[in-house]
Structure 1
Amino acid sequence: MMQSYISEIGRCAKAYCEHTARSLPTLPDTVVTLVEMGFNVDTLPVYAKRSQRMVITAPPVTNQPATPRALSAGQKRTHPSHIPSHFPEFPDPHTYIKTPTFREPVSDYQVVREKAASQRRDVERALTRFMAKTGETQSLFKDDVTAFPLIAARPTTIPYLSALLPSELELQTLEETDSSEQDDQTDSENATGNNISDDPGADKENSMLPPGGVAPAAKASEDNVIDNPYLRPVKKPKVRRKK
Structure 2
Amino acid sequence: MEDAEILRRRILHSFVSNVALNHGFVKTEAFALETLAEMFIAFISQLSIQTKLFAELQNRTEPTFHDLASALIEIGIDVLSLYKFYKNLNNEKYQKIAEPAYASIQKRPAILHVIKPRPHQNYVFDHFPPFPDPHTYIQTECPSKSEREYQKTRELIAEQKLNIEKSLVKFRLKNQLIKFSAKQLSIFNEDSKDTAYMLIRNENENSDQVSPLITGLFSN
TM bucket (normalised to shorter chain) is 0.3 to 0.5
More RCO (CA 8 Å, sep 6+): 2
Which of 1 and 2 has greater Rg? 1
The structure with the largest helix share of the pair is 2
Q: When the two structures are superposed, what TM-score results if normalisation uses the length of structure 1?
A: 0.30
TM-score by length of 2: 0.33
